């Protein structure tokens, strides 16, 4: 099957249309996902149960984590076109039987309370309209003791530098559309965490990128 067949290109929230995003992930961002997946497993020690990849795009992070764990991954995105690509790749990588695909909005996730062992999300939160609601939803679907790993890292400083250099050349304004949102989210987060009051949260902010690691 040709995954690109009969696909219309539409502009999407999330920075780009699914076809060009898919190409950029394959050609530029691909090396970061296995590195980040390893870091998430090392930090959360979660290797079985259910994982939600929130704002999954083409599912690269959720697929990378499925490859090194026994997790069942629910790929969740507001874009049906992104989910179709995620599904195509999941089947191609033989993890289709441990995958589910759910279209929806992070502000109102159609999943039961305490149904997930881990929620991961990369590069999506700057596009969320209401972080208090979105993080509240993430905590709602997490089991008590479960972890969330949300942010925008690149895995390592070297990967961040090389990808930033590549993207700045290809699309000089690629960060402009969301850099103010990244700043706003980070400033809003301490108060959001205080109100939602999870068991713990830590900010990981190093040369590879920024994440919030939450335990419910």
Ligand X SMILES: C[S@@+](CC[C@H](N)C(=O)[O-])C[C@H]1O[C@@H](n2cnc3c(N)ncnc32)[C@H](O)[C@@H]1O
Options 44-52, 71-79, 161-169, 188-196: segment touching ligand X (CB under 6 A): 71-79
| Whole-number Cα distances in Å, 94 to 15, 87, 117, 129, 207 | 29, 11, 22, 34, 33
Q: How far is the CB of 87 from ligand X (least distance, A)?
A: 14
**Residue 124 touching ligand X (CB under 6 A):** yes
**Residue 15 touching ligand X (CB under 6 A):** yes
Place of tokens 């969301």: 178
**Residue 135 touching ligand X (CB under 6 A):** no
**Residue 25 touching ligand X (CB under 6 A):** yes
**Residue 13 touching ligand X (CB under 6 A):** yes
Q: According to CB under 6 A, which one of 3, 12, 133, 143 is a site residue for ligand X?
A: 12
Options 2-10, 124-132, 154-162, 169-177: segment touching ligand X (CB under 6 A): 124-132
Q: How far is the CB of 127 from ligand X (least distance, A)?
A: 4
**Residue 77 touching ligand X (CB under 6 A):** yes
Summarize as ranges the residues that interact with ligand X (CB under 6 A).
12-15, 25, 55-57, 60-61, 77-79, 82, 105-106, 122-124, 127-128
């Amino acid at each position: 099957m040709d995954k690109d067949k009969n696909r219309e290109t539409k502009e999407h929230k999330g920075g780009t249309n699914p076809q060009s995003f898919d190409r950029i992930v394959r050609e530029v961002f691909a090396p970061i996902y296995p590195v980040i997946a390893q870091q998430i497993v090392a930090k959360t020690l979660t290797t079985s149960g259910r994982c939600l990849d929130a704002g999954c795009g083409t599912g690269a992070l959720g697929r990378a984590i499925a490859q090194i764990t026994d997790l069942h991954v629910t790929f969740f995105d507001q874009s049906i076109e992104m989910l179709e690509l995620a599904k195509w790749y999941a089947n191609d990588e033989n993890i289709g039987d441990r995958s589910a695909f759910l279209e929806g909005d992070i502000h109102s996730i159609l999943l039961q309370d305490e149904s997930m062992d881990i929620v991961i999300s990369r590069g999506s939160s700057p596009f969320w309209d209401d972080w208090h609601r979105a993080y509240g939803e993430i905590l709602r679907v997490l089991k008590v003791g479960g972890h969330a790993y949300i942010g925008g890292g690149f895995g390592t400083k070297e990967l961040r530098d090389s990808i930033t250099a590549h993207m700045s050349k290809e699309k000089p304004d690629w960060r402009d559309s969301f850099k103010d949102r990244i700043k706003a989210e980070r400033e809003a987060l301490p108060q959001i965490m205080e109100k939602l009051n999870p068991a713990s949260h830590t900010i990981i902010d190093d040369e590879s990128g920024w994440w919030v690691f939450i335990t419910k």
